[in-house]
Structure formats: C-alpha cells, structure tokens
Structure 1
Amino acid sequence: MVAAQDLKLGAFFFGGVELADAGAGPPAPMDRRSTNEECWAATLDYVNSAIEAERLGYDSFWTTEHHFQYEGYEVIPNGILISTWIAARTTRLRFGSMFNVVPQWNPMRLAEDFATLHNLSGGRAMLGVGRGTVPREVLHLNDRGVSIGSQDNPDQAADDRRNREVFEESMEIVRRALGQERFSFHGEHFQVPIEGIPDRGSTVQDLTLIPRPLHPYEIWQAVTSPPTLEYVPVVGHGAVFWNQHHSFIKRFWDTYGERYAAAHDGVELEPHEKRMLVVSVRVEDTMEQARSSARPGHDEFWKFLGPYGWSRGYMGPDGRPSPPGLIPTLDESIENMTILLGPPDEVARQVQLLKDLLGFEHLTIFPHLLGDSYAKADEQMARFREEVQPLLT
C-alpha cells in the first residue's frame, strides 16, 4: 500500500470562465456565449492556479485541449503551449494534458511539440493522449474527415472505428518518433515518409525527429471503454480512470494489470503502477454546505457533457452501466463516488475507501467545477492538500 505522504497528487482544471448562473436549468449550453475578454481572463487565472498548485506542494497540474468553445466551458486550445508558459514560471511542478486530442494533430508535430516542452522544462512534462469528445473540434482540425463517435451511439459507430484507427496509427508514429533516431511508418492512414520524395540525389527513406526527449517521459491515456482497455496496456500507456462507478473502475483497474502482464512477458505491476484515478472534490465545513456549493457546477458539468455520453460509466438501477445520455443528479454522482464531498474528515474517509480498493499512487483531483471562480478552485486545492491528505493512511 502506498503511504499517504508518497501520493503523487495532481490537480486537473477544465479552464472555463466563471458563471454566475451555473446549474441544471437554463441557459442551455449552446445558448451561452462568453466574450473573448472573459475567455482570456480565465486563461490567465488558469496559469495562476498552476503556480498556486506548485506552492501548495502538488506533484502535477493537468490542462486540457479544446477549441471553438464560445460557451466558455473549456478555453485552453493547446495544453502543450500553455504548459510551456507554466514551466517558465515554476520549478518543480509536472504537467500534462487531459488530453491532447490526437486525431486533431499531425502526429509528428505532436511529438515535436511535446519533446520541446519536455526538454525546456527539464523533464517535467507528461504526454496525455485521448481520442476526443466534440465533433465540431476534431472535424475542423484534421484533413482526413475524422470525427468522433461513441459506443453509446450506434449510428456513429463508423466514426468511432475510424477515429480509433487514426488514433492508434498516430500514437505508433509518436512513440517511434520520440524513441528512435530514425523512424518510418506505413499504415492504412499514414505513410511516413511519403514515398519517392527526392532529396539531394536520393529519396527519403526515414525521418528523424528534432528534438527528441532528453529525459524519460510518460504517456497517459483516458480509459473509458472496453476497446481502449484492450489497447492501452498492450502499448504500455498509463491508464487514467474518471467518471465511472467505483466497482467498474476496480474491474478496469485490475484488468489493466492482467493485460499488461500478458503483453509484457508476464511482468506483473504493483496495483499502483501505471494507473491514475481522477475524482471531483468539494470540501466544506459541513455536508450541507458541500452539497450546496457543489450542486451548480456539478449540474452545469453534466448538462454540458451528459449528451456526449460521458456518464456511460455510471451504474444503472440494474447494476449495469447506465443507458446513453444520462445526466446524473448530484446524489447519483455521490453514490457512484465520482464526486467526493463533505467536511475534510468525510472526504478523507471516501478517498481512503478508494485508496484501499485500488491501491493507487497517482490521484488527481478535479477542484474547479464548471462556473466556479478560480479563487474557489485554489481554495479547494488548499483544503484538500492541507486538511484531507494528512488524514489518509
């Protein structure tokens, strides 16, 4: 069991604007429109919160990658770029993106940019990767017509398959580019290098990434579906689990270890290795205050993301995953343990239950519920670090 003082504690912010009217009712997400000035102010506050995370002793700060969100929910379009600015203003903090949306990138550009950040920061970057959520983003940021589907939407199954194929080929290119002095790749969607390119009397046979990492690095990937759970341990990415019923996470957590061993000559990981839990938190003096404080941001979060299928990891009344499109209530999230709230001793009790269940070392909290001020998020980081973590064993 990992001791509490050895936890690698992270903080993950969406990076949205403050909302005075967050909650389950109107306005609908698509009816919101934040100003450019509001979005930029949120960006500056976001950087300041990363600096505050370092001051509080957090191990890591996780950013996002989202585009064209005039609603103001997620206003950081490039986690690598913003992390480079954070790196220049911190000395110890590690950082990554939850997640770089790989089908929106040229994979070689993603590898170059990550390697540059990693080297400039002295080896403090982590490469977080995912397949995306929002079709209006991914369709406008790749030239292959790749969209994003969901297992919850059978009519989008073809989009989901193609997205997964492009993602997996892209990640093979990224790993080769970062790890090999010379690399090439020939798949269904990518040919690297393109055949027949003349170059000073010959043709290009391979490429060399400049720069490559000068320090060891980690790759972390969101795991929310059975096909992803088949892939991630085989290629050796770390697995990130969030917004699933604790019993479903336990099943995925253990299955990851089993499949990792099967794919890596029987190497058995400790329960804490290469797996991370992300969980929303709200720490207040009483349970009633915590519920009241969390409800607006919780309900706005699910009003925004429920229609994209993000709640598919919740448990339904029959003990199986919930049906598509569930927009959970705060009580349902408390029951599923996707949000931990209450006074410090109660939040610590809930964290300890999950820690005993999973044996995690990497714990990342989500303290900035949608619409919260950054001052509130900073307060939540401080209360968790100073009042909750010391109660863990």
Structure 2
Amino acid sequence: MRVDLLHAFSNTDNKRPWNEVLDQARRRIIRADQLGIDGFWLGEHHFDHIGIDQSPNPVVLLADLASRTESIRIGIAAVILPIWHPVRLAEDIALLDHMTGGRLDVALSRGVLQAEIINFNAEADRKDDALSKEIFAEHLDILRAAWTTDPLSWCSKRFEVPHPETKWPDATEEYTDENGRITGLSIIPKPVQPGGPALYSVTDTPGGFAGAAKQGLNVITWFPTRSTLDDLNAVYHSEVDASLLAPHEPRNSAVLRGCLIAPTDDEARALAEPQVRAKFEFINKVRGLGIWLDRGEDPTDSTLQEMDPFDLLFERDHLLIGSPETVATKMIEMAQNHQIEHWLLSPYCSEDDAVVDQTLRLLAEEVLPKVRASA
C-alpha cells in the first residue's frame, strides 16, 4: 500500500511573496519525509494569476525539494508533455532522477487548460483531439528512445535529431557516418532507473485508460468512484493483457482524493467544507454533476441535484475527511472493495500550515498503521 501527497503551490490572489510559497513546500516535504509518507508529487501549471497552483517548472522545483529529503519518492503529476521539446525533457528528467537517487516518478498529460498549451505549442491545442494525441505519442516515443538508445537519432515531420548541419569536433565513429557526418547524439545522463522513471498518465475516461495501457503507462485518476472506477480498471487490465508494453506498477490505477484529518468528524468537516463546496461548484460548471457519480446514477435526478455537496461527495468516496478513525475506515473499505494499492492525497486548507500539519501527523500516526496493516 503506497500513500503519497499531491502538493499544490497555492497562493490565493497572489497575496504572499512567492519565496514564502516555496518555503512552505520545503517545510511540507521535509515533514512528510520525516513522517514516513511514501511520495510527494507536484503538478505543472503556467500563467496562474489566480493562485490555485503556481508550478511552472516541476523539474527545477523538485530538484530543490528532493535535496532536502532522504527516502520519500518524488513525483511530477503531470508534465504537460506536448509543450516540451522531448529531448530536452529527457535530459532534465534523467538528471533529476540522479539528483533524487532514483526516487523519481513522472506522470504525463496532454494538458488541460488551453492557455497553458497553445502559448507554448499551438499545434497541440486539444480542440484537434487526434492531432493532440499524435503529438503526445511522438513525444513519449522520443522521451523513451532518449533514455534507452545511444546514439539517438530521430526523423519525422516535427523533429530531426541530429540536425543535418550538426558538427562535433573529433566525434567518435559510433556518432558519425563514413563521411564524418554526425548521425546521432549522446543523451547524457541516462536515468538511474533502467529505462527511465515509472511513467503515468493522468486520466478519467475509458479511452484514456485504454490508451495508457497501450503505451505502457501507469494511471493516476481523480474523479471516478466505486463501480465507475472498477469499470475503468477493467478496461486497463484488458488492454495491458493485449499489449506488449507492461506498466511499472500494480495494474490498478492510483487514486487521488482530497484529505483533511482532525480529532473529530465535526472539526474536519467545518475546516474543509467551504473549499469542498467551492471546488464542487467549479467542477460542476466545467464537467457537470455526472463526473462525481457512480455507474447508473442520473445527474438530472433532482434528489442528487439538491443534496448537500459535502454529503454527496463523502457518500461516493470522493472525500477522505474526518477523524482518524473515519478516514482509516473509509480508506480500508475503498482499498478492499476496489483494489486500491496507491493513493495520492491532496490536503484541503493547503495554505494553512497548522491544519495541514495536523492532517499529516494524524495520517502518519493513526491512519496509516491501520490502513497498511489491513493491506
């Protein structure tokens, strides 16, 4: 049973100096490492003037954070793959793998917010879904090739590696042809982990799960719950069985859930409920009520539409909020009923050090011993 944290660089309305935001992340990863939390993940986000998650370069950020830890695994969830040059990304991730001593995991995404995608690579705009997937697939192939082949050469309509005019003084024969022309590049360093870090896809659709399996990627998912989650994992299993590419990790998806732990259920709910309601209302505007529901539930059902958001989400296992006993019980039941082997927990009230510190301490001291013993 693996239990990780997903950290957001929250800075609501840009009220705090950014060095304070960074220092908070430093304190949090150090504390998580000391408490025996298994992993610590960051996302990639750009141009976030609202301050939901200001994380423009997770590779650089994690290089700093990882240097302050000893054993916790380090994760990126997720790199917006189409907006990077894949060879440069391969170099950066390989170097970070060395800097973490092989503790690195990397999730990949086609991007969610249009502004983040088109201002770096307009061709990858997801309004053309097929083209977006094509670009992602090629970048993934180049990333893996850069980690596993030497010399690296690649020729397509988007990339020519090496560039035909490349010159390199005294290049050795494995990188040149009989005329001394450079035919391949050495990508240095290769990752510590053979073949590169474990790679994940962040997705919540049958097509996304099937695509991840076909590309040999593990899966991280947020919204699917109960039988919907089971159905998606079944799609993934079927495609893995038919694919030649096996993922690194157990075949069930890693599950992301919001978390807040306090001495009592009432205290935890009082702290988290304003954010739960705000997130619920925002997601409903973007994705609709159905994203939260179980298989067979009707998003137009007036009973569901009129439910208190906290109660609706808690009953459908979207919230790990409550006392240590309540959270442990819910995690154990979900793990047993839906074969969950890997959690990513996103703390509510993430800008409040006292609240998050309490959540981490109770998680480590009172929840995880029960959860791991049950597993």
Same fold (TM over 0.5): yes
Please name the residue that 2:130 is paired with: 161
Q: Which runs of 5+ in 1 are unaligned?
A: 1-6, 20-32, 149-155
More displaced, 47-56 or 279-288?
Answer: 279-288
- 1:335-346 to 2 correspondences below 5 Å: 335-346=315-326
Q: How many residues align?
A: 356
Counterparts of 1:180 and 1:363, CA distance in 2: 33
Please name the residue that 2:147 is paired with: 178
Deviation of residue 81 (structure 1)?
0.8
Determine if the alignment matches structure 1 residue 197 to structure 2 residue 175: no
- What SS class does the counterpart of residue 129 from structure 1 fall into? strand
- 1:181-330 to 2 correspondences below 5 Å: 181-187=150-156, 190-193=158-161, 196-199=164-167, 202-216=180-194, 217-264=197-244, 272-273=250-251, 275-309=253-287, 313-315=291-293, 318-319=296-297, 329-330=309-310
Deviation of residue 93 (structure 1)?
1.4
Q: Which runs of 5+ in 2 are unaligned?
A: 169-178
Deviation of residue 114 (structure 1)?
0.4
Tell me the alpha carbon deviations over residues 121-165 of structure 1, each in whole angstroms, 9 at most, x when there is no partner. Answer: 2111112211212111111122x43223xxxxxxx4x2x332222
More displaced, 206-215 or 272-281?
Answer: 272-281
Larger Rg over CA atoms: 2
Tell me the alpha carbon deviations over residues 335-386 of structure 1, each in whole angstroms, 9 at most, x when there is no partner. Answer: 32111222221211111111112323222211144x6413322221221121
Contact 2:260 2:356 in 1 (8 A): no
Contact 1:243 1:311 in 2 (8 A): no
Contact 1:12 1:61 in 2 (8 A): yes
- What SS class does the counterpart of residue 95 from structure 1 fall into? strand
Deviation of residue 212 (structure 1)?
1.1
Counterparts of 2:19 and 2:252, CA distance in 1: 35
Please name the residue that 1:145 is paired with: 123
Deviation of residue 196 (structure 1)?
3.3
2:346 to 345, 362, 366: 366
Counterparts of 2:140 and 2:262, CA distance in 1: 41
- 1:107-122 to 2 correspondences below 5 Å: 107-122=86-101
Please name the residue that 1:30 is paired with: none
Q: TM-score with structure 2 length normalisation?
A: 0.85
Determine if the alignment matches structure 1 residue 9 to structure 2 residue 25: no
Deviation of residue 185 (structure 1)?
3.5
Contact 1:13 1:368 in 2 (8 A): no
Deviation of residue 307 (structure 1)?
4.2
More displaced, 164-173 or 280-289?
Answer: 280-289
Counterparts of 1:229 and 1:67, CA distance in 2: 26
Counterparts of 2:202 and 2:89, CA distance in 1: 17
Indicate the RMSD between aligned Cα atoms, in angstroms: 2.9
- 1:40-59 to 2 correspondences below 5 Å: 40-59=19-38
Q: Partner letter of residue 279 of structure 1?
A: R
Identity %, equivalent residues: 22
Whose relative contact order is higher, 1 or 2, with alpha carbons under 8 Å and at least 6 apart? 1
Change (3 A) 1:268 1:110: closer
Please name the residue that 1:23 is paired with: none
